Chain A
Amino acid sequence: MTSVYASWITLLSPLAAAVAITLGGTAISRRAAGFVATTGTSVAFAAAVVAFIDILGEDPERRSHLDTAWTWLGAGKFDVGLAILVDPLSIFMMLVVSGVGSLIVGYSIGYMDGDDEERRYFAYMALFVFSMLLLVQGGNLLLLLAGWGLVGLSSYLLIGFHHERPNAIAAAKKAFIMNAFGDATFALALFLLIAHTGSVSFGALEEVTGAGSTVTNLIALGLLGGAVAKSAQLPLHTWLPDAMEGPTPVSALIHAATMVTAGVYLIVRLHSIFEAADVVQDFAAILGAATLLVAGLIALVQTDIKRVIAYSTMSQIGYMFVGVGLGAYANGMFHLLTHAFFKALLFLAAGVIIHALAGEQDMRRMGGLRRLMPFTYWCFLIGSLALVGIPPFAGFFSKDSILAASLDRGTLGAILVVVGLAGTFLTGAYTFRMLYLVFHGSRSAYATEHHLDDGHEGPLTMLVPVGALAVLSVIGGWIQFAPFWTPVSDFLAPVAEPLAEASNWMEVVASVAAVALGLAGILVAWAIYDARRWRVPRWTAVRRALEEKLYWDRLYDRIFYSPAVWLARATLRWFERPVIAGSAVGIGVGARESGEIASEVQTGYLRAYALALAAGLAILVLVFVSVR
Chain B
Amino acid sequence: MIAGSAGNVVVWVVWFVAAFACLGSALAVVSFANPFFSALALIGNLASLAVLYLLLNAEFVAAAQVLVYAGAVMVMFLFVVAYLGGEADAPWAGGPSWQVVGAIAAAAAILVEIVVVIGVAAGDGLSNEGDISSAFGSPAEIGRLFLTDHLLAFEVTSIVLLAAAVGGVILGHHSRRVDDPAVGGRG
Q: Direct contact between A and B in the complex (CB less than 8 angstroms)?
A: yes
Interface residues of A (CB under 8 A from B): 607-608, 611, 614-615, 617-618, 621-622, 625
A611 lies within 8 A of B116 (CB): no
Q: What is the bound-complex CA distance between A607 and B99, given in angstroms? A: 8
Residue B95 is within 8 A (CB to CB) of chain A in the complex: yes
Residue in B95, B102, B106, B117 whose beta carbon sits within 8 Å of that of A625 in the complex: B117
- Do A622 and B99 touch (CB < 8 A)? no
Taking CB atoms, residues of chain B closer than 8 Å to A614 are 103, 106-107, 110
- Shortest distance between the CB of B94 and any CB in chain A (Å): 9
Contact check, A622 vs B113: say whether CB atoms are below 8 A apart. yes
* Candidate in B109, B116, B117, B121 with the most chain A CB atoms within 10 angstroms: B109
Interface size class for chain B?
A: 10 to 19
* Residues of B109-142 contacting chain A, CB below 8 A: 109-110, 113-114, 116-117, 121
Contact in complex: B110, A625 (CB < 8 Å): no
Cβ contacts under 8 Å, B106 to chain A:
611, 614-615, 617-618
Q: Which residue of A lies closest to B116 (CB)?
A: A625
For the complex with contacts A611-B103, A617-B110, A621-B114, 15 further pairs of A-B residues with Cβ separation under 8 Å are: A607-B95, A607-B99, A608-B99, A611-B106, A614-B106, A614-B107, A614-B110, A615-B109, A618-B110, A618-B113, A621-B113, A621-B117, A622-B109, A625-B113, A625-B117
In the assembled complex, the CB of A19 is this many whole angstroms from the nearest CB of chain B, namely: 79
Residues of chain A within 8 A (CB-CB) of B95 are: 607
Chain B residues with Cβ under 8 A from A611's Cβ? Answer: 99, 102-103, 106
Residues of chain B lying within 8 A (CB to CB) of residue A625: 113, 116-117, 121
Cα distance A611–B98 in the bound complex, in angstroms: 10
CB distance from A42 to the nearest CB of B (A): 95
- Which of the residues A615, A617, A621, A622 comes within 8 Å of B102, measured between beta carbons? A615
User: Considering the chains assembled together, what is the distance between the CA atoms of A618 and B113 in angstroms?
Assistant: 8
Chain A to chain B: the 10 pairs with minimum beta-carbon distance, closest first: A614-B106, A618-B109, A615-B106, A621-B113, A611-B102, A618-B110, A618-B106, A607-B99, A625-B117, A611-B103
In this complex, what residue of A is CB-closest to B113? A621
Best-buried of A617, A618, A625 by chain B (most CB within 10 Å): A618
Q: Which B-chain residue is minimally distant from A618 (CB atoms)?
A: B109
Assembly CA distance A615 to B109 (angstroms): 8
- Name the distance in Å between A626's Cβ and chain B's nearest Cβ: 9
User: Which residues on the B side are within 8 Å of A615 (C-beta)?
Assistant: 102, 105-106, 109
Of all chain A residues, which has the CB nearest B109? A618
B99, B106, B117, B121, most chain A CB atoms within 10 A: B106
Which B77-120 residues have a C-beta within 8 angstroms of A? 95, 99, 102-103, 105-107, 109-110, 113-114, 116-117
Complexed CA–CA distance, A614 and B102 (Å):
9
Provide the residues of chain B in CB contact with A617, threshold 8 Å: 106, 110
Give the chain B neighbours of A622 by CB distance below 8 A: 109, 113
With a cutoff of 8 Å between Cβ atoms, the chain A residues found around residue B109 in the complex are 615, 618, 622
- Closest chain A CB from B116 CB (angstroms): 7
Chain B residues, CB < 8 A from A608: 99
Shortest C-beta distance, A440 to chain B (Å), equals: 104
Task: List B contacts of A607 (CB < 8 A).
Answer: 95, 99, 103
A-B contact pairs, 24 of them (CB 8 A): A607-B99, A607-B103, A608-B99, A611-B102, A611-B103, A614-B103, A614-B106, A614-B110, A615-B102, A615-B106, A615-B109, A617-B106, A617-B110, A618-B106, A618-B109, A618-B110, A618-B113, A621-B110, A621-B113, A621-B114, A622-B113, A625-B113, A625-B116, A625-B117
Q: Can you name the residue of chain A whose Cβ is closest to the Cβ of B111?
A: A618
CA distance A618 to B109 in the complex (A): 6
When chains A and B are docked, how far (Å) is the Cα of A608 from the Cα of B103?
9
Docked pose: A618 CA to B105 CA in angstroms: 10
User: In whole Å, how far is B104's beta carbon from the nearest beta carbon of chain A?
Assistant: 10
Least CB separation from B107: chain A residue: A614
Q: Which of A608, A611, A614 has the most CB of B within 10 A?
A: A611
- The residue in chain A whose Cβ has the minimal distance to the Cβ of B120 is A625
**Shortest beta-carbon distance from A234 to chain B in Å:** 82
Residues of A within 8 A of B110 (CB): 614, 617-618, 621
A593 CB → nearest B CB, Å: 25
Inter-chain CA distance A119–B114, complex, in Å, is 92
A615 and B108 alpha carbons, distance in the complex (Å): 10
CA distance A622 to B105 in the complex (A): 14
Docked CA distance A614–B108 (Å):
10
CA distance A607 to B106 in the complex (A): 13
Complex Cα distance, B110 from A554, in Å, reads 83
Distance of A625 Cα from B110 Cα, bound (Å): 12
> What is the bound-complex CA distance between A165 and B113, given in angstroms?
85
Closest to A628 in B: B121
Contacts of B116 in A (CB 8 A): 625
Give B179 Cβ to nearest chain A Cβ, in Å: 25
User: A-facing mask of B21-52, CB < 8 A → 1, else 0?
Assistant: 00000000000000000000000000000000
